[in-house]
Amino acid sequence: MKKWTSIVIALLIIISVLNTVVFASEEQYTEKNGVKLYTIGDIQVQGFVNIQGITMKDKIKLMVAKNNEQLWYDVKLENGRFNQKLWLNWGKGSYTINVMVNEYDRKYSLGPKITVENVKEINALLSPEKYIECEDKLIIDQAAEITKGLTGDMERARAIYNWVSKNIAYDYEKYGKHLNNDYNNEYGALLALNTKKGVCYDHATLTAALGRASGLQTKLVKGTGKINGIAGYHAWNEIYIADESKWIKLDTSFAAVSNQDYFDNENFDESHIAE
């Protein structure tokens, strides 16, 4: 009798534990509009946050907001699951991450959201951000190959500039879409690296990603560029040369379409006006 009593008690404990686990698992999700979003136990994060969940929807995005700043991210779905790392590059403070559910065309509705408190200041010019995937293995490996054996910051910056200028062709087809006000295209460093082509923004994001992956603080600069008598919206880069305590300006897309050198040249500002 004593033996059976012990077995019954053990079974009751197991059932109780299982019920607790299931309950906790259910409590870890916030659900809205066909999306289950994993809710983080600790709302304090150290410079980044992993957004995880499940959805039956075909397409969702993430909208990250802090004060007056707002940025949308595409989300990769694998069998309805998503797990995306977001770097919080706007400094310390409260961030809201909202799942946006695609209804049709470019129409989105609100899904679940979470709010986190970033308690760690990170160097945004060395960190990944939208379209600058410097944490991706392909980017890291390519940066290591380009800068192999080079130690000085200027040497590494020049090597990255030369490689992007010579190996990434200008995408005139995408540029033609821009002229027709069609900006619904894919962009970014990883895209440019994989396709070996891109417009100025793709060149600049790839340059930034390779620079950051090499330990060089790299800015993506937007403004007006002028080449061959044509002026328009443009993107280029600035890289900090730490061992010389100075910033240099460079433009890999202009270099790709011309025979001119746009690496730290004296008259750079004559053809580039930053926003």
pLDDT given for residue 19 in this prediction? 43
Distance from C-alpha of 237 to C-alpha of 223, rounded to nearest angstrom: 11
**pLDDT tens, position by position, 62-94:** 999 999 999 999 999 999 999 999 999 999 999
Task: Output the pTM of the full model.
Answer: 0.83
Q: Give the pLDDT score at 8.
A: 46
- In the chain, domain spans: 31-122, 126-274
Q: Are 219 and 238 in contact (CB under 8 A)?
A: yes
154-192 confidence digits (pLDDT tens): 999 999 999 999 999 999 999 888 888 887 788 999 999
Express each pLDDT in 124-152 by its tens digit.
999 999 999 999 999 999 999 999 999 99
Neighbours of 42 (CB within 10 A): 8
The Cα 23–Cα 239 span in angstroms is 51
Q: Write out pLDDT tens, residues 93-112.
A: 999 999 999 999 889 999 99
Residue 259 predicted with pLDDT over 90: no
Contacts by residues 195-200 (CB-CB < 8 Å, ≥ 24 positions apart): 196/167, 196/168, 196/169, 197/168, 197/169, 197/170, 197/171, 198/168, 198/170, 198/171, 198/174, 198/253, 199/170, 199/171, 199/174, 199/175, 199/253, 200/225, 200/234, 200/235, 200/236, 200/251, 200/253, 200/254
CATH architecture of 126-274: Roll (3.10)
Residues 231 and 211: their CA atoms lie apart, in Å, by: 27
Q: The CATH number of 31-122 is which of 3.40.50.150, 1.10.340.30, 1.10.10.10, 2.60.40.10?
A: 2.60.40.10
- Cβ neighbours of residue 37 under 8 Å, at least 6 residues apart? 29, 30, 31, 51, 52, 53, 99, 111, 112, 113, 114
What confidence tier does 207 reach under pLDDT thresholds 50, 70, 90?
Answer: very high
